[in-house]
């Protein structure tokens, strides 16, 4: 490749990166009023100390479908199904479907395990961390059907809610679960 071509390609690449970066922002605008405010950020990853801070994520009334997966880096079946959620996000990123991966990793593992894991996998889906350890106070607010075992996934659109306390065996089963 000669250098001239490179000078053309670099700006195009930069623009495409910038614009693809803006796409989730468009989606965010519709949720802007109530998108949960993080307690803090760790290398760009939003951390929620209390469930109440995150609660609006499970209550949006816009016409977006939210696919919210609860996982942790030490949970093998969780890790195995994460690629299906990523594929779902990639396939539907231009539609009103938002995939959110809620990490339940322990506070002491955020820097030692979670950040390196995220660094390695570079998820395109929204990733956030919920640290609230008063599980008995909030599990029922996600779903009364949830015993607390992970992996677990909530898929909802307005009032229509489906809860899955199991891992998805493949991508097709996950996609078929969309409303």
Partner 1 sequence: MKNILFFATLIALLAFTPYTPEGGVEIGELAPAFNLKNIDGNMYSFENIKDANGETPKGYIIVFTCNTCPYAKANETRLIQLQETYGPKGYPVVAIQPNDPTLKPGDSFEAMKANAEEKDFNFLYLIDEEQSVFPQYGATKTPEVFLLDENRILRYHGAIDDSVRDEEGVETKFVEKAIEAIENGQEPSPTTTKSIGCGIKKAR
Residues in contact with partner 1 by CB under 8 A are 70, 72, 74-77, 104, 106, 133-136, 139-140, 145-151, 164-167, 169
Sheet with 126-130, side-by-side order of all strands: 40-42, 45-48, 126-130, 97-103, 65-71, 152-157, 160-164
Buried b or exposed e, range 162-177, using 16+ CB within 10 angstroms: eebeebbeebeebeee
Q: In the complex with partner 1, which residue's Cβ is closer, 2 or 134?
A: 134
Of 70, 43, 89, 82, residue with least CA distance to 153:
70
Supply the minimum distance, in Å, between the C-beta of residue 176 and partner 1: 12
Supply the minimum distance, in Å, between the C-beta of residue 29 and partner 1: 32
Q: In the complex with partner 1, which residue's Cβ is closer, 88 or 152?
A: 152
Q: In the complex with partner 1, which residue's Cβ is closer, 90 or 141?
A: 141
Supply the minimum distance, in Å, between the C-beta of residue 30 and partner 1: 30
Count of beta carbons in the 10 Å neighbourhood of residue 82:
19
Q: In the complex with partner 1, which residue's Cβ is closer, 30 or 52?
A: 52
Are the beta carbons of 42 and 130 closer than 8 angstroms?
no
Supply the minimum distance, in Å, between the C-beta of residue 122 and partner 1: 25
């Amino acid at each position: 490749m000669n250098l001239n071509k490179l000078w053309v390609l670099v700006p195009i690449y930069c623009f495409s990166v910038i614009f693809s970066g803006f796409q989730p922002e468009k989606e965010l605008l519709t949720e802007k009023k109530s998108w949960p405010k993080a307690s803090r950020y760790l290398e760009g990853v939003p951390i929620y100390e209390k469930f109440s801070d995150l609660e609006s994520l499970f209550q949006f009334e816009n016409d977006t479908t939210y696919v919210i997966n609860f996982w942790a880096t030490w949970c093998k079946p969780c890790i195995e199904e994460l690629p299906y959620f990523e594929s779902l996000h990639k396939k539907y990123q231009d539609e009103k479907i938002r995939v959110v991966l809620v990490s339940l990793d322990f506070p002491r593992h955020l820097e030692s395990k979670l950040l390196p894991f995220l660094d390695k996998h570079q998820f395109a889906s929204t990733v956030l961390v919920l640290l609230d350890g008063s599980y008995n106070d909030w599990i029922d607010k996600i779903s009364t059907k949830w015993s607390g075992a992970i992996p677990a996934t909530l898929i909802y659109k307005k009032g229509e809610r489906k809860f899955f306390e199991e891992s998805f065996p493949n991508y097709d089963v996950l996609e078929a679960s969309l409303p």
